[in-house]
Chains A and B, each alone.
Chain A
């Protein structure tokens, strides 16, 4: 069974840092691009970072450029999101997501979602 298990969320002060992890199982992790998607309380979905299967290509929206860094360790089947200079508007549930089987490069679609990890930025 394909599973994604996020960890690392919590309460952090504005300007602080946090590193999220996502342990993947049930599929050949290194062959799939992966992404992080977040959802602020009561709000919609926002894609925050994506990374190729090899880790050689990453991208992110302007809202997190210069602050968030996505990475992966294919030997550990783990995806990461390093978040620096956190702001109140970064408060959200962060989901680790995998594309559909047959779309290893992504299809810009997110089939498997983790349970999410909550990040709260507040003083």
Chain B
């Protein structure tokens, strides 16, 4: 079935370090891909999205490129801040009649000053 696999955390980085969180997917169709972020004690917020192959989503210094050939959507940021500490979820949705969002298990990021 359709699924999303994320690298397991937690990931601990120093401030200004480079961040990569790997995400790969399995899907029967052509999904749209998303990264959501959950700050402590809050609900999820959409961070960025890409709807077709080679699209690059970007927001708040984060980027991810939809790679159809490797079925991947890795999240990157060049210089993380303490305020980026959160749990990051990769997700996909398929069009048509299904409509449900499939999440990875989440990766917890801790950034130390």
**A and B co-occur in one complex:** no
Using CB atoms and an 8 Å cutoff, list the residues of chain B in contact with chain A.
none
Using CB atoms and an 8 Å cutoff, list the residues of chain A in contact with chain B.
none
